[in-house]
Structure 1
Amino acid sequence: MLSIGDFAGLGRVSVRMLRHYDAIGLLRPAHVDPHSGYRFYTAEQLLRLNRILALKDLGFSLNQVQLMIEEKVEPGELRGMLRLRRAELAAQVERDNARLALVDARLRMIEAEGHMNTGDVVLKQVPAVRVAELSATALGYDHPTSITENLSPLYPRLEELLLRAGVAVTGSPLAYYRPAPTGPEDETITVHAAFPIGDAEVGGAEGAGFDVVVLPPIEAASAVHQGPMSEAFRTGGRIAAWIEENGYRPVPPGYAREVYLHCPAELAEWVTEMQVPLDGTEIATGRN
């Protein structure tokens, strides 16, 4: 038999953890000396310890681990729990990779400070456009991951609704943002996914499941952004520098309208026009 210290060393855990596992009945010692109270374990118990640690590393609670170890969970239920946890971990990895890419992009922007190129920003008159749209709520304009998670699913759903309604799309998809109307302390925003539909007849739009609105004409500082929208702040920085240099002011709160010109599967190859409305124009939509 192995002393608790030796067993802890071989299992790469602390003695304190083994005592806790004993206290909750998750991993009892093979033998406890009745006189000294010393705990002893067998080498075979390392298999149970390894299973405990593996399940714990997957994010399961100790109560869940105990049920699994003691086979109080049906095999089908256990498979379902493991698949769910795998999906959660995969989603977390995707979110972490997105955050890492965002950090790298911001580092590149910081390194380029003092060398801001505003030559590709132009003053543009954007005509009114009639669109079909769906909307959702995201955490805020400074939470690109939340914007992507809430905005992206709207486009395929809107495409399906337009196809069902027999309404043709007449231009590139676009997005615009407005503060959510829930109070001044709330930083959430409403994200709008839209397709231009021109003068197409839309009978009973409410029953079709989407809204039809007219985005008013705007005078905008416009620039083309190349790459994933998680890095749109780089182009936003160029537009902001141009606005300041040329004595303009953005329409508060300065949200850009985005026109997706090219959207392949590879996000690095995306081409998006960003249009920041300038003072004296409107970004609010008008019902039609």
Structure 2
Amino acid sequence: MPEEDPAAARWTIGQFSRMTRLSARMLRHYDRLGLLRPGDVDPWNGYRYYSQDELGPAVMLRRLRDAGLGLDEIALALPALLSDDESIWRPALERHLERLEAEAGELGRRREQTLALLHHRKEPIMTTQTVPGTTLTIPAHTIIARRGTIATYRDEGALFGEFETQLHGVLAATGAALTGDPCGATFYEDGYVEHDVDVEVWEVVAAPVEVAAPLSCRRVPEQTVLMAEHKGSYEGISEVYTGLLHEIGERGLTITGFSFERYLVGPAHNPDPGTWRTQVCFPIEG
């Protein structure tokens, strides 16, 4: 009796489902989307049949799905992986990995918040920053700035990194100089936002200079602010905002502009978060 050719093997959708651990419902869905078509379809009854040629793509599709890629991402990465087009599949997987790492960081923060709730005992529900605000007059100064919209507050560092590269190009080309005053960021929001944060990052320069978009250069007038200093990483900085706003309300002060932060010591100065010092400022009158 002649041996059966493995390449000629044909499986029903149920059999193929068991082999690949992809449900029959999803196999039909992938067929409709064009992601994974059966090798043969009976023209009379519409039954789908799969062969060895579909087995490898099906296993790879399942791996991509189990890794959490969406259908659009799978549609991009699957053919590239099957054809070994690294110029397409590697960036797609790297973008997915970056998103997973961001999600893992967010899960870690939620875990810490949950642990804090479990162990809060009889601590007050609402606390305010114990460091009192200080009234500070900031003299008029000139800044080079870049304003943009970032996904979340945690993305400010990436915007600052791009800005610093552009800034140093301007300094090198024009001979302009920084004054040594703290750099900072101004938040053009009336309150806290979950995403799409409108922020401007800036450095103080000795004199006005011509710049091209997306940079700008302008004179900032003298202003009085209520300021409190936050020490350490930025995780707890919201408590400083809470404390300052509490004090502004108690003292009957009026906020005259958008809040901003001045970075006395930040990641660019020292990678150790324990050394970071940030002034949180609200322009005021009253």
What is the TM-score normalised by the length of structure 1? 0.69
Gap change, CA 1:70 and 1:122, over 3 Å in 2: closer
Gap change, CA 1:172 and 1:94, over 3 Å in 2: farther
Say what the alpha-carbon RMSD is for the aligned residues: 4.0
* Partner Cα separation in structure 2 for residue 96 and residue 268 of structure 1: 25
Check conservation: 1:155, 1:193, Cα contact below 8 A: no
Q: Match for residue 59 of structure 2?
A: 50
Gap change, CA 1:113 and 1:4, over 3 Å in 2: same
Secondary structure of residue in 1 paired with 2:210: helix
**Aligned pair partner of 1:173 in 148, 165, 183:** 183
Check conservation: 1:126, 1:220, Cα contact below 8 A: yes
* Partner Cα separation in structure 2 for residue 139 and residue 265 of structure 1: 22
**Aligned pair partner of 2:221 in 212, 216, 225:** 216
Q: CA deviation at 1:139?
A: 5.9
Structure 1 stretch 46-55 or stretch 100-109: which is displaced more?
100-109
Counterpart check, 1:279 vs 2:282 = no
Q: How does 1:125-144 map to 2 (within 5 A)?
A: 125-138=136-149, 143-144=152-153
- Gapped runs of 5+ residues in structure 2? 1-9
Check conservation: 2:142, 2:219, Cα contact below 8 A: yes
**Aligned pair partner of 1:26 in 6, 18, 36:** 36
Check conservation: 1:21, 1:28, Cα contact below 8 A: no
* Partner Cα separation in structure 2 for residue 10 and residue 97 of structure 1: 32
Name the count of aligned residue pairs.
260
- Identity score, percent: 18
Counterpart check, 1:246 vs 2:254 = no
Q: Match for residue 7 of structure 2?
A: none
Q: CA deviation at 1:156?
A: 3.1
Q: Match for residue 92 of structure 1?
A: 99
* Partner AA of 1:6 in structure 2: Q
* Partner AA of 2:204 in structure 1: P
Gap change, CA 1:124 and 1:104, over 3 Å in 2: farther
Check conservation: 1:138, 1:147, Cα contact below 8 A: no
**Aligned pair partner of 1:261 in 256, 259, 264:** 264
Check conservation: 2:225, 2:284, Cα contact below 8 A: yes
Secondary structure of residue in 2 paired with 1:265: coil
* Partner Cα separation in structure 2 for residue 87 and residue 69 of structure 1: 14
Secondary structure of residue in 2 paired with 1:235: helix
Structure 1 stretch 261-270 or stretch 125-134: which is displaced more?
261-270
* Partner Cα separation in structure 2 for residue 3 and residue 60 of structure 1: 24
Gap change, CA 1:87 and 1:188, over 3 Å in 2: closer
Q: CA deviation at 1:229?
A: 4.0
Q: How does 1:72-221 map to 2 (within 5 A)?
A: 75=84, 78-97=85-104, 99-100=106-107, 103=110, 113-114=124-125, 116-138=127-149, 143-145=152-154, 147-169=156-178, 170-178=180-188, 191-197=199-205, 200-201=206-207, 205-206=209-210, 211-221=216-226
Gap change, CA 1:8 and 1:269, over 3 Å in 2: farther
Q: CA deviation at 1:37?
A: 6.0
- Gapped runs of 5+ residues in structure 1? 181-186, 281-288
* Partner AA of 1:131 in structure 2: T
Gap change, CA 1:35 and 1:276, over 3 Å in 2: closer
